Amino acid sequence: MTETTQHRTPDSRPTGGLSAQYQPGEVEQRRYENWVSQGYFTADPASDKPPFSIVIPPPNVTGSLHVGHALDHTIQDTLSRLKRMQGFEVLWLPGMDHAGIATQNVVERQLAAQQLSRHDLGREKFVEKVWEWKAQSGGAILGQMRRLGDSVDWSRERFTMDEGLSRAVQTIFKRLYEDELIYRANRIINWCPRCLTALSDIEVEHTDDEGELVSIRYGEGENAIVVATTRAETMLGDTAVAVHPDDERYKHLIGTEVELPLTGRRIPIVADEHVDPSFGTGAVKVTPAHDPNDFEIGQRHDLPSITMMDERAVVTVHGPFEGLDRYEARPAIVAALREEGRIVAEKRPYVHSVGHCSRCKTTVEPRLSLQWFVNTGPLAKAAGDAVRDGRVSIEPAELSKRYFAWVDNMHDWCISRQLWWGHRIPVWYGPDGEVVCVGPDEEPPAGFTQDEDVLDTWFSSALWPFSTMGWPERTPELEKFYPTSVLVTGYDILFFWVARMMMFGLYAMDDVQPFNVVNLHGMVRDGHGKKMSKSFGNVVDPLDWIERYGADATRFTLARGANPGSDVPISEEWCQGSRNFCNKLWNATRFALMNGATVEGELPPAEELSAIDKWILSRLQHVIGEVDEYFATYEYAKVCDTLYHFAWDDVCDWYLELSKPVLAGSEAANSQRVLGHVLDQLLRLLHPVIPFVTEELWVALTGGETVVKAQWPAIDKELIDDAAEEELAALQKVVTEVRRFRSDQGLKPSQRVSAALTGLGNVGIDTHEPLIRSLARLDAPGDGFTATATLAVSGAITVDLDTRGTIDVAAERARLEKDRTAAEKEAAQCRAKLGNESFIGKAPEQVVTKIKDRLATAEADLTRIAAALEALPTA
């Protein structure tokens, strides 16, 4: 083979069918369809391989692939591909959430365009309409997942409203109901006056809004008491004023009554320890039907609850304000109070946190409502215990504190929603007030009527790790793959989804946790560490990046920024760099194939290898060990960084350059085999993160079926050669120092300079002098050689250079002075930022690290420039 390839022209050398340039669009769809059709991602529960399983956090059926999904899926796919190569039977289970409110809103908007409402169709026809929408338009994200390269088992795709998951929902509801862990009661809940439904905490987004704070005087004279509120309209529902029992200012008023302005009603003044006497006036109005804290006060003091507005936030209390919307009633009531002289103080604008419906952005109203709740006490305790006793580990461990803060203080969970799309609550009411919970294999009694509400979407998704595998049946999938190995998700839903899966998984699966590890990643931010927002204009569409730069470049950019639990900064410039990295791999593999690289046969014995070949093989072993270690601790950024620098620096910039003379000669066979082995192993190591380009290159290089099924590299300690690494490090040091000098002096890369090299034998690299001269563009000193510059390299190596006629000294000095000024300015700016405590306290960790790196670079530049100026000839 080597004999024939040596005499071919570059254009005629074999390239394994690789085109001159990498075109992701020509590779990705073809490769993905082949993977799926060959069943590489299909899990076998009967396999004797050790199991590894992940369930995908189900995206909404209404959703499309956003950058947060892209990060989440990249990490999950990386782990799944890694474990397949490591010999595990891998199940990565895909699916979608029915997204109750979001989906109903989509279909209702379509009906509204036809001047229709869901009530015009009726419940049954409306639900049929939603299923039609799902079949025609829902689930676009599934196709987008394919474009990203998700290696999910499509044969097991699930939907939270499919028959099997609906059966699971009914089953667990009935069990919880019979165990008195589900109940119905009048409680304060989050209410959306536009969507006309209760909301879970995660469906409420809080923002700092401008409003007004008004202080109102209740009563007269010595018995008067002042309260402050941002929602003046709710005073119509006040049933008490509360003060702290130890507040000396109001002790004489406790137990008395005061007249509620504008209503003529008299309400009591009660003492309650919930009141903070240092906040405001130390007195609070109590509106039990419209505030969660007031509701609790009302319960403690047996206060009536007056609902003063309806489900659309319209005032219902009889009087002059009846029929007004809340935002109409507020200024009208303040004006009426002002006219009576009841307004003591007004502050506007007053910025305070206000909850909004995450779907329609309407301001949420706390509202007393008859709803279904989960008694979370015993369930939350079990969820906390599972982490405390080590059955479940949270990575990174420091985020466990957030988890405990939630599960140890969890309120009962409102699970009913006033929607038509979703799992309908399986409770039926009889004509005489009977209540029956109906299981999946039971029929409701004749003449009974089913509850109108549906369950919170998070109720069904809390069952996801086991319902998707066939629970309540004991399926082979459950036996093999439950508990799942890792849950990968953002830290933002640690409370709302992770904790709920823990509660329901431990309850339903006989105290067996739903996953062994919770791997939490941060939010994706722009390159400056700023939150992505449409208003900021910095939102990244991953599909756009995939289209322009390829899926691998998009994935590598996201993974390279993913440190455990930290937010992930990305920029288009970094994605371009990732594309360049893929191109570098492509070109390196083509070069290798054109120069006879092979994977055939065993590696030559060490005694037959050059120091260069032994060095790259030794470096490879260290890299394999580092990558394994970083994967074990979920440090994807370090995995990517390690492989990037090994591939770009060690393999491409050094090994290929050092090997070119050998590969072009007659003794190329050993280096051809080593080069083939190194690229084979490197492509395997990179495959979990960048699957498409590595598949194309690995198949071309090895002739194998697919890298998906290739064995994960293992360290061969016999290939670790410290002496070779030391020898090559010394060689690299000389070449790097000369190249840096040439760059600092403004010499063109192609421009050759005469030089004398002394001391190479001191570090055992004298045999590499021809290579050093070739790489550093140095000619041997000839007649008339005069050393005008001297470089002292570590290890008693000296490089004397004759730079006469190659450098315009005056121009070069001016250039270096200009560079020094710029470096001093950069260093000063970085020091100023790092010395600003406010900046350090608020900036994301990645941004601070980036500033520190910039300062280190600037300081290194100053040292380098000073040395370059010193080295310039004096004449």
φ, ψ dihedrals at 483, nearest 5°:
-70, 155
Q: Are 235 and 285 in contact (CB under 8 A)?
A: yes
Distance CA 660, CA 650 (A): 14
CA triple 758-760-762, angle to 5 deg = 110
H or E segment to which residue 345 belongs: strand 343-357
What are the φ and ψ backbone dihedral angles of 388, each rounded to 5 degrees? Answer: -65, -35
List Cα–Cα distances, 145 to 70, 491, 851, in angstroms.
Answer: 8, 21, 35
Cis peptide before 349 (omega within 30 of 0): yes
C-alpha closest to that of 572 among 533, 532, 530, 527: 527
Of the candidates 850, 845, 147, 152, the one whose C-alpha atom is nearest the C-alpha of residue 553 is 147
CA atoms within 13 A on the CB side of 20: 3
DSSP for 705-764, written as a single string: S-GGGSPPP---GGG--HHHHHHHHHHHHHHHHHHHHHHHTT--TT--EEEEEE-GGGGT
Q: How many CB atoms lie within 10 A of CB 632?
A: 8
Do the beta carbons of residue 501 and residue 514 sit within 8 Å? yes
Cα 38 to Cα 35: distance, rounded to the nearest angstrom? 5
Q: Which residue has the tokens 């004398």?
A: 756
> Which residues contribute to the annotated binding site for ATP?
534
> In 3-state terms, what secondary structure has residue 482?
coil
In sequence order, the 6+-apart residues with CB closer than 8 A to the CB of 666 are: 6
Backbone angles phi, psi at 288, to 5 degrees: -60, -30
The secondary structure of 359-371 as a DSSP string is: TT-PBPEEEEEEE
> How many C-beta atoms lie closer than 10 Å to residue 147's C-beta?
17
| Sheet with 393-395, edge to edge strand ranges | 393-395, 515-521, 484-490
Question: Residue 300 is encoded by which pair of tokens?
Answer: 């403690």
Exposed/middle/buried for 76, CB within 10 Å: 0-12, 13-18, 19+? buried
- C-alpha to C-alpha distance for 613 and 651, rounded to whole angstroms: 11
Q: How many residues does the chain have?
A: 875
Give the chain's end-to-end CA distance (angstroms, integer): 56
State the virtual CA torsion across 619, 624, 630, 633 in degrees, nearest 10: -150
Alpha-carbon gap, residue 407 to 405, rounded angstroms: 6
Query: Nearest-CA neighbor of 485 among 153, 97, 90, 155?
Result: 90
Q: Is 581 helix (H, G, I), strand (E, B) or coil?
A: helix
Query: Which ranges of 7-91 would DSSP assign to H, the alpha helix?
Result: 24-37, 67-85
Annotated binding-site positions: 534
**Alpha carbon distance 365, 289 (integer Å):** 11
Residue type, 117: S
Q: Is 347 helix (H, G, I), strand (E, B) or coil?
A: strand
Distances 766 to 610, 614, 731 between C-alpha atoms, Å: 14, 17, 9
Q: Is 408 helix (H, G, I), strand (E, B) or coil?
A: coil
